[in-house]
C-alpha cells in the first residue's frame, strides 16, 4: 500500500488491539450520520470510541477478579459507594430489583458482600463489601491500571500531561 501524503499517518495499533481500518486515525470510526459536524461532536465521537477500546484493554486484566461483568461492577459500586440499599443498587446498575438481589446473593455466597439491616430503618437492607471483597477489587483495579499504563510506556511527559488533563476534564463532567 502506497502512503497518500494527503492522509494523516495512522499510529501503530495499541498492544492487544487489532488495527481497525475505519475513517479516523487510529482506526476510530467517523462521526455517525445525523449528528452535527462540529468540533464538540467529533471530539465526543473519538472519545467514545477510544474509551470503549481502552476498556477492552483494561478488561484483559480481569481474570484476576474471577468475576463476571455484573458481579465485578456491583462489587466496585459497593467498595466505592457502599453500603447501599438493594433498591439503590438496582438503580445504579440499571437492572431490576430481582436481578440485583441475585447478583448480591452471588457476591454474598462468595464472601465478597454482606447484607445487614439499617440501624435507622430496620425495613431497609443495606449491602456492603466485605474486607475480602475490597481486597479482590483492589487487586483487579491494580491489574487494570497496569494494563492501561502499559499502553503509555513510550508516551512522552507532554503526552502524559495531555492525557491526564483530558481525564480530569472528563471526570469533572461525569455525574
Residue 38 falls within a domain, yes or no?
no
In a domain, 120, yes or no: yes
If the chain, 175 residues long, is cut into consecutive pieces of 10 residues, what is the mean pLDDT of each piece?
39 44 62 90 91 90 84 93 92 95 96 93 92 94 93 96 95 91
- Asked whether residue 16 is domain-assigned, the answer is no
- CATH code for the domain in which residue 133 is found: 1.10.10.10
**Residue in 128, 110, 108 with CA at minimum distance from that of residue 118:** 128
Q: Which residue range(s) make up the domain with 114?
A: 69-139
Distance CA 58, CA 141 (A): 9
Residue pair 45/29 in contact (Cβ under 8 Å)? The answer is: yes
Give the total number of structural domains in the chain.
1
Whether 91 is in a domain gets the answer yes
On whether residue 159 sits in a domain, the answer given is: no
**53 lies in a domain?**
no
**Is residue 89 within 8 Å of residue 99, measured between CB atoms?**
no
Amino acid at each position: 500500500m502506497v502512503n497518500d501524503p494527503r492522509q494523516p499517518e495512522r499510529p501503530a495499533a495499541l498492544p492487544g488491539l487489532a488495527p481497525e481500518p475505519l475513517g479516523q486515525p487510529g482506526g476510530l470510526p467517523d462521526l455517525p450520520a445525523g449528528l452535527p459536524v462540529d468540533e464538540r461532536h467529533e471530539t465526543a465521537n473519538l472519545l467514545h470510541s477510544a474509551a470503549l477500546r481502552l476498556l477492552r484493554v483494561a478488561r484483559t486484566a480481569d481474570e484476576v477478579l474471577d468475576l463476571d461483568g455484573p458481579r465485578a461492577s456491583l462489587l466496585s459500586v459497593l467498595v466505592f459507594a457502599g453500603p447501599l440499599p438493594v433498591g439503590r443498587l438496582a438503580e445504579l446498575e440499571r437492572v431490576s430489583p430481582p436481578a440485583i438481589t441475585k447478583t448480591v446473593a452471588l457476591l454474598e455466597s462468595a464472601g465478597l458482600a454482606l447484607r445487614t439491616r439499617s440501624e435507622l430503618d430496620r425495613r431497609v437492607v443495606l449491602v456492603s463489601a466485605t474486607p475480602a471483597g475490597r481486597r479482590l477489587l483492589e487487586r483487579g483495579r491494580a491489574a487494570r491500571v497496569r494494563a492501561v499504563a502499559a499502553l503509555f510506556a513510550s508516551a512522552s511527559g507532554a503526552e502524559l500531561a495531555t492525557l491526564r488533563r483530558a481525564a480530569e476534564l472528563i471526570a469533572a463532567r461525569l455525574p
